[in-house]
């Protein structure tokens, strides 16, 4: 039986992929799968807030014949305010998962990928960047500015700190998040001010949404990337930071595995490596804050099982932030004691 609210998505499925058999996926009213002679496809209802011109741009990007390691957009249709898209369903299983939160949004959760997987995924990401370098599209997608990313992370931190005020007083996770986030942001600001050298670096069309649930394995052992709705022009390090920070803790081995895997397929400059930890921090601080806010939202309470899952995701991000702070935030300067005079007099 189809979930309530899925009738419009099923109707779009029948128009986009005539003759196919649509099926709902659990209680996700905005998503259906369609099996045809050509294979298995997914049809998803997009957030109606996405402008039509943006949907068309994503279509154009995904329909490039040379694009590799991304699921193809098959067709799109619009019914009044609703937008739909259909994509090939990549074989294999997603490395992460998402919890449904309302009709449109999902809670994106960090996952823990094996060290061996990271190099292969990074190599697939390099091919994605290289084969997606369409000059016309690159000129029309939004361009990420690192100073804007810093400002957005600071605003998010301030807002989530206010939302979590009660939890910060009584709950250790919220306090740990804040104690790592504040010094990381302060030091990231200085690092990004020195990052003008990135202006001479050619941006790529970056995925910019590399949660584990958007990384799928393929039968040949390779990887592909789902959901390109947030593509934009950005430094290579933006996607690399998400791959590292959203899929495990920070460590030299994990970072080296990602950088080596990427460099085997596409060169990466030293300046991109230098800014990497700060981009990881700018991504993890708001991501962790959102998870903590969601876990403690009394107006939209989660089930006990979902709350545990969200808090487990927050714990992964807290470990990441703690390691970044320990490795990249310098200790405060030591206060040098000024020698004072000895005023006491010895007495016989």
- pLDDT string in tens for the chain (348-residue length): 556 567 888 888 888 888 888 887 777 777 888 888 878 888 888 777 888 888 888 888 988 888 888 877 777 777 667 778 888 777 666 666 666 655 556 678 898 888 889 999 999 999 999 988 888 999 999 999 888 999 999 999 999 999 999 888 887 899 999 999 999 999 998 888 776 656 678 899 999 999 988 888 877 778 888 888 899 999 999 999 999 999 988 999 999 999 999 999 999 988 889 899 999 999 999 999 999 999 999 898 988 999 999 999 999 999 999 999 999 998 877 766 666 555 454 444
Q: What is the pLDDT of residue 263?
A: 96
Q: What is the pLDDT of residue 129?
A: 95
Q: What is the pLDDT of residue 348?
A: 42
> What is the value of pTM for the model shown?
0.86
Q: What is the pLDDT of residue 345?
A: 47
Beta strands 73-79 and 98-101, pairing class: unpaired
Q: What is the pLDDT of residue 338?
A: 62
Q: What is the pLDDT of residue 255?
A: 96
């Amino acid at each position: 039986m189809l979930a309530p609210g899925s009738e419009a998505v099923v109707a779009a499925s029948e128009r986009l992929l005539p003759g196919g058999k649509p099926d709902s996926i659990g209680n996700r009213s905005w998503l259906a799968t369609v099996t045809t002679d050509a294979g298995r496809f997914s049809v998803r209802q997009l957030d109606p807030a996405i402008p039509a011109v943006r949907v068309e741009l994503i279509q154009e990007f995904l329909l490039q014949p040379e694009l590799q390691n991304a699921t193809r957009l098959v067709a799109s249709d619009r019914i009044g305010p609703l937008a739909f898209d259909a994509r090939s369903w990549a074989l294999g299983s997603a490395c992460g998962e998402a919890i449904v939160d309302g009709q449109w949004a999902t809670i994106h959760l960090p996952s823990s990928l094996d060290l061996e997987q990271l190099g292969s995924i990074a190599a697939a990401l390099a091919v994605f960047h290289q084969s997606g370098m369409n000059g016309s599209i690159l000129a029309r997608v939004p361009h990420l500015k690192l100073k804007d990313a810093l400002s957005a992370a600071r605003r998010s931190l301030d807002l989530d700190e206010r939302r979590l005020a009660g939890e910060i007083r009584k709950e250790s996770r919220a306090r740990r998040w804040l104690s790592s986030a504040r010094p990381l942001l302060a030091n990231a600001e200085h690092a990004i001010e020195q990052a003008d050298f990135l202006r001479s670096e050619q941006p790529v069309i970056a995925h910019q949404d590399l949660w584990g649930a958007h990384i799928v394995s393929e039968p040949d052992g390779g990887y592909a990337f789902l959901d390109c709705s947030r593509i934009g022009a950005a430094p290579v390090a933006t996607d690399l930071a998400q791959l590292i920070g959203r899929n495990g803790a920070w460590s030299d081995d994990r970072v080296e595995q990602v950088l080596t895997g990427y460099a085997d397929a596409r060169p990466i400059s030293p300046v991109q490596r230098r800014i990497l930890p700060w981009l990881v921090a700018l991504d993890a601080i708001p991501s962790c804050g959102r998870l903590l806010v969601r876990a403690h939202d009394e107006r939209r309470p989660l089930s006990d099982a979902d709350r545990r899952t969200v808090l487990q995701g927050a714990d992964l991000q807290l470990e990441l932030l703690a390691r970044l702070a320990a490795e990249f935030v310098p200790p405060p300067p030591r206060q040098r004691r000024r020698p004072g005079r000895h005023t006491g007099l010895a007495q016989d």
